[in-house]
Amino acid sequence: MFGKRVRPWQEDSGPPRQRLRSNLADLFLGNDISSVRAQSLFQDGQASGAAGLSDVAATQGGRLGKNLCRDLKRKLLKGSAWPQPYVVQARTWNAKRNQEELHDVPVLLPHEVVFAMTEDRSNSEPENQTAAHQHVVTREGVSPAEEILL
């Protein structure tokens, strides 16, 4: 699981139809590909007969197509178990101008992250879980909170 030469994704993490959507979403959400490229791949996948891509392939990005990135993120992160980040204005140093500036910095609170990781999802079926829900794997007889401490 945490080996040196392990792929960052799980090959057998579900049926191939869900893996395609999950892999494309992972590429887009990890900033490996742009929103325009991701949209093109989602549409190509749907045109080739892959199931489960119709909702993201139909995303147009608003009236003029300018908000494609925002709309894809909303579709792909819908139902995510992770908490929303709090945005804090923090002082940062601008090396070019040699002065302090205020910038918005997204922050996740540690207790909310731990809660999201330990929330029990054992009663939901794996095929109904999104990629964001599949980050917690529990063993029989061990609660998620005990799993973190082990």
- Give the distance from CA 58 to its chain's centroid: 19
Q: Quick check: pTM over 0.85?
A: no
User: Is pLDDT of 23 > 50?
Assistant: yes
Residue 43 is predicted with a pLDDT of 87
Residue pair 24/40 in contact by the 8 Å Cβ criterion: no
Q: Where are the domains of the chain?
A: 1-78, 80-150
The more confident residue out of 122 and 137 is 122
Instruction: Write the pLDDT tens digit of every residue in 34-75.
Output: 888 988 888 888 888 877 788 888 877 666 667 888 888 888
Residue 95 is predicted with a pLDDT of 93
Residue 78 is predicted with a pLDDT of 83
Give the amino acid at 104: D
